[in-house]
Amino acid sequence: MKTCLIAMFILVVTSAEGSLAYGKTLTVSPDGPLKSVSGAIASAEAGDTIRVLGGEYRENIVIDKALTIIGENYPLIDGGGKGVVVWIMAPGTVFRGMRVEGSGMSLNLEDTGILVDTARGSVIEDNRLGDVLFGIYVKNSPDCVISGNAVEGKDLPLAERGDGIKLWYSSGTKIIKNRLHNTRDLVMWWSGDTVIKGNRVEKGRYGLHYMYSNNNVFEDNIFIDNYVGGFLMYSDGITFRNNIFARNQGPATGYGIGFKDLDHVIAEGNLFIDNRIGMYMDNSPHLIDAWNRIDDNVIAYNDIGVSMMPSIERNIFVSNTFLENHEQVEVRGGGHLAGNLWFKDGRGNYWSDYVGYDEDGDGMGEIPYKSEKLFESIIDEIPELRLFIYSPVSKAIELAAEAFPVIKPEPKLIDEHPLIGSRVPDRYLSGKSEVSLKLLIVSFGMVLAPLIFYGCILKR
């Protein structure tokens, strides 16, 4: 009996000593005993913490055990223009508070600032990346958190840049409050059940670009001054709300957002403003029993508000504000949009070019809104004629259609219950939004000023 008690006592003491020894902290500093991060990693054991004090560390590091690496005063790890700067290969790694610069230049090798490679559940947080080809690349690493990082790409032509953040087979990842500038895309492939929230992406190619990634949510993001705000393909169960898509003006694209083969989309509370095309839809939904819901968005001051292929069906547009787009809705190739709903349960959308009235004061027009401008129908069929959209030719054609209704085209769409008042959400009125009501007011003033001028001329 005594022998058993002694054995149990030794086991408890040994376990306690082990627990005390586990999780030690190592400190790296330019003038300390540990002068390199790589040296500290070699000396550390899984579960340890490495504190990196401010300074410059010119090295490429590989993290091959689960460590917590925390920078104080944003120490710099400089890869010297070679390969991957920080390569994380251990699940559960935490990498926080560092500056990372100087990746290589190879797109084929995907030279990256921070590469998370088969490292499930890692956390990349509050880092500053600059002069990197790819910013943060999460590869075969589900359930990671990428939060609060700032990525500045290399000063290269757009086609030669890498992605700011890239997910590859990394489902369940959270991408939160990152800032990407002068990179290529925020891209996700085969990465479902992700959350993309509070990010800002600007001066890139695609603000958000993904395919084969189901059940994703993105909200409260800003995609501004890119060639395309977002382009989403071959995915199911996408929810996006309260995002801003602004000034995305790529010459051949310029979509605020584009859909390609998307099913069960819920888009609500977003602002699409000053894009070449606010929303572009191609073969969406794809499944025969799927519907997409486009609710309570502001689609304002775009060249084209919504552009759709004539074969598209099963999209519901309700409570949206179509405000002073040059063309509210385009049917590519001409025709009309049968099979889509522009009102539901007695409620439609606000159209700034609606000329009806609200007799009973219920907030909805008494006559339907019909999109049936002759010149718009012509340019839908022959896009090259869009050049003349502001010319006297377009006005003359519309006047002829009014004078001779026999040549008026079949309506592209009919909203039986148009809203009388525009619905601009409070967050765009409060001034807290990056693209607030100021831009709306300026744009509205640009439209109103010529009308006042011509009114004064007519009075004379």
This prediction has a pTM of 0.86
Same domain? For 224 and 165 the reply is: no
Same domain? For 99 and 66 the reply is: yes
For position 457, what pLDDT does the model report?
Answer: 46
Same domain? For 260 and 176 the reply is: no
> How many structural domains are present in the chain?
2
Domain annotation covers residue 7 = no
Same domain? For 89 and 215 the reply is: no
What residues pair up with 231 in beta bridges, in sequence order? 209, 258
Same domain? For 256 and 318 the reply is: yes
Domain annotation covers residue 166 = yes
Spatial CA neighbour of 41 closest among 84, 81, 78, 87: 87
pLDDT tens track for 358-398: 999 999 999 999 987 655 676 677 776 666 666 676 666 65
Same domain? For 216 and 308 the reply is: yes
Tokens found for residue 314: 């099963």
Same domain? For 140 and 222 the reply is: no
Domain annotation covers residue 158 = yes
Same domain? For 175 and 235 the reply is: no
Rounded CA-CA distance 9/314 in Å is 71
Domain annotation covers residue 280 = yes
Domain annotation covers residue 449 = yes
Domain annotation covers residue 5 = no
For position 121, what pLDDT does the model report?
Answer: 98
Same domain? For 364 and 457 the reply is: yes
Domain annotation covers residue 398 = no
Same domain? For 247 and 135 the reply is: no
Domain annotation covers residue 198 = no
Same domain? For 259 and 318 the reply is: yes
For position 11, what pLDDT does the model report?
Answer: 41
For position 433, what pLDDT does the model report?
Answer: 55
Q: Which domain holds residue 129?
A: 27-182
pLDDT tens track for 167-206: 999 999 999 999 999 999 999 999 999 999 999 999 999 9
Mean pLDDT of the residues in the chain: 87
For position 15, what pLDDT does the model report?
Answer: 40
Same domain? For 343 and 296 the reply is: yes
Regions of the chain short of the pLDDT cut 70? 1-22, 373-376, 378-379, 384-391, 393-408, 427, 429-460
